């Protein structure tokens, strides 16, 4: 088997020595080309080349969720075709690794490599659904290119938190769960629209949902992790269905305390609930519009401000080694 290993040298939870050991372990089982990324978007470019080649059967992403997202977008540059495209494998090397853990992989790079090698010997794989978002036709964002995401996207409050965390990391701060929690508090205090939301969710043939402050789009469950604790924004979300949406129409101090507690105590059976909560399951096509530009994030990557984003849930988009 010919395989491409895409290595993010800045992966936060693996050392250079560990990455070398993992590379040699994978190379012992396949004809492996290992490439270290050198710039933002490099993983996407490498995966696109692999998808357009005739002989690469597997692309392995060694890094965090951002690296995985780039690889997926490279593989799907010309659209999903699971029977033709190389399979994807993930060795988690980031701080959270939501996609890998949602697939059931260990959160340790060495253990995950062992599982990956066993899966290849036993030919274990699954075909997963993914989400894709693009600028909405007829709006000022219509020229924004489409982008795939593996586990979540968000317009509004949570994307603002992601943006704040990225700013802190650019200043040299480490990506920790306490850093995220501090930025949640700061985003809340600076949120101008927390009492009167500006987001409207529209889907064909259904009355719109208006005045949302927060909108989280989930392609799987859990939504994220705090340490080893899974957090379930949309417990029914699955790689085997369309997209789920959690929306909040109010973010007063009391409601934030209530829904924050519900998130922290969420389970596969129950997520946030209440009068100001909208929970939608298994959507194929919908659009989020905002009266004012709001931050957008996908798979934990801040993508700037948007006023309108069209989402599609694509079943059976990519084969993944598990």
Q: Strand ranges (DSSP E) for 15-161?
A: 31-36, 58-63, 87-92, 125-135, 147-149, 152-156
Token digits for 139? 């709006």
Pairing of strands 199-203, 224-226: unpaired
**Percentage of the chain surpassing pLDDT 70?**
97
Q: What pLDDT is stored for residue 252 in this prediction? A: 82
What does the pLDDT average to over 282-291?
Answer: 97
CB 146, CB 133: distance < 8 Å:
yes
- pTM for the model: 0.92
User: How much is the pLDDT for 33?
Assistant: 96
CB contact at 8 A, 96 and 65: yes
Among the listed residues 277, 305, 311, 310, the one whose alpha carbon sits nearest the alpha carbon of residue 291: 305
Distance from the Cα of residue 135 to its chain's centroid = 18
Higher pLDDT, 168 or 146: 146
pLDDT at 217: 98
pLDDT band, very low/low/confident/very high, at 195 (cuts 50, 70, 90): low
Q: Which of 290, 238, 246, 216 is nearest to 104 (CA)?
A: 238
Predicted confidence band of residue 168 (pLDDT cuts 50, 70, 90) = confident
**Mean pLDDT across the stretch 183-209?**
83
Taking residue 81's Cβ as centre, other Cβ atoms within 10 Å add up to 12
Please, which residues have CB within 8 angstroms of residue 146's CB and are 6 or more apart in sequence? 132, 133, 134
pLDDT score at 188: 72
Cα within 13 Å of Cα(237), Cβ side: 34
Q: Which of 217-221, 250-254, 302-306 has the lowest mean pLDDT?
A: 250-254
pLDDT digits (tens, 9 = 90+) for 11-28: 888 899 999 999 999 999
Q: Which of 246, 308, 311 is nearest to 285 (CA)?
A: 311
Give the per-residue pLDDT at 237.
Answer: 98
CB neighbours of residue 303 within 10 Å: 18
Place 193 in a pLDDT band, splitting at 50, 70 and 90: low
- CA 294 to mean position of chain CA atoms: 18
Structural contact between residues 244 and 283, judged by C-beta atoms closer than 8 angstroms = yes
Please state, rounded to an integer, the average pLDDT across all residues of the chain: 93
Give per-residue pLDDT as tens, 253-286. 888 889 989 999 999 999 999 999 999 999 999 9
Cα(309)–Cα(78) distance, integer angstroms? 20
pLDDT in tens, 39-61: 999 999 999 999 999 899 999 99
CA distance 95 to 12: 6
Res. 177: pLDDT tops 70: no
Residue 139: predicted pLDDT: 94
- pLDDT tens-digit series, residues 226-251: 888 999 999 999 999 999 999 999 88
Residue 161 banded pLDDT, cuts 50, 70, 90: confident
Which DSSP letter does residue 221 get? S
pLDDT of residue 294: 94
Across the chain, the runs of DSSP E, i.e. the strands, are 2-7, 31-36, 58-63, 87-92, 125-135, 147-149, 152-156, 199-203, 206-212, 214-218, 224-226, 229-231, 243-248, 277-283, 285-298, 301-321
Over the stretch 96-143, which tens digit does the pLDDT of each residue have? 999 999 999 999 999 999 999 999 999 999 999 999 999 999 999 999
Supply the pLDDT for residue 163.
81
Whether the Cβ atoms of residue 237 and residue 265 lie closer than 8 Å to each other: no
- Cα separation, 273 vs 250, whole angstroms: 13
Is the bond into 208 cis (omega within 30 degrees of 0)?
no
pLDDT of residue 293: 94
pLDDT score of 222: 97
Angle of the 177-190 helix axis to the 157-170 helix axis, nearest 10: 120
**What's the confidence (pLDDT) of residue 192?**
65
């Amino acid at each position: 088997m010919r395989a491409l290993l895409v290595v993010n040298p800045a992966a936060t939870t693996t050392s250079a020595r560990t990455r070398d050991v993992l590379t040699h372990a994978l190379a012992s089982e396949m004809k492996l080309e290992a490439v270290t990324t050198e710039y933002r978007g490099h993983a996407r470019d490498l995966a696109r080349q692999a998808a357009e080649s005739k002989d690469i059967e597997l692309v392995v992403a060694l890094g965090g969720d951002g690296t995985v997202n780039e690889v997926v977008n490279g593989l799907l540059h010309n659209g999903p075709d699971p029977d033709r495209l190389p399979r994807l494998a993930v060795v988690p090397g980031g701080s959270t690794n939501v996609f890998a853990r949602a697939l059931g992989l260990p959160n340790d790079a060495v253990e995950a490599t062992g599982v990956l090698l066993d899966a290849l010997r036993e030919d274990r794989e699954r075909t997963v659904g993914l989400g894709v978002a693009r600028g909405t036709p007829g709006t000022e964002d219509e020229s924004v290119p489409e982008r795939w995401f593996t586990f979540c996207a968000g317009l509004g409050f949570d994307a603002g938190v992601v943006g704040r965390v990225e700013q802190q990391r650019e200043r040299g701060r480490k990506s920790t769960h306490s850093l995220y929690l501090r930025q949640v508090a700061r985003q809340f205090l600076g949120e101008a629209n927390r009492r009167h939301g500006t987001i409207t969710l529209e889907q064909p043939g259904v009355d719109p949902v208006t005045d949302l402050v927060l909108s989280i789009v989930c392609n799987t469950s859990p939504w994220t992790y705090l340490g080893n604790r899974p957090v379930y924004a949309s417990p029914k979300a699955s790689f085997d269905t369309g997209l789920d949406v959690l929306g909040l129409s109010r973010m007063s101090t009391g409601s934030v305390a209530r829904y924050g507690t519900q998130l922290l105590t969420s389970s596969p059976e129950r997520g946030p609930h209440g009068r100001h909560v909208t929970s939608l399951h298994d959507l194929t096509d919908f659009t989020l519009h905002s009266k004012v530009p709001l931050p957008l994030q996908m798979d934990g990557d801040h993508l700037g401000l948007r006023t309108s984003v069209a989402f599609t849930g694509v079943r059976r988009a990519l084969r993944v080694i598990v």
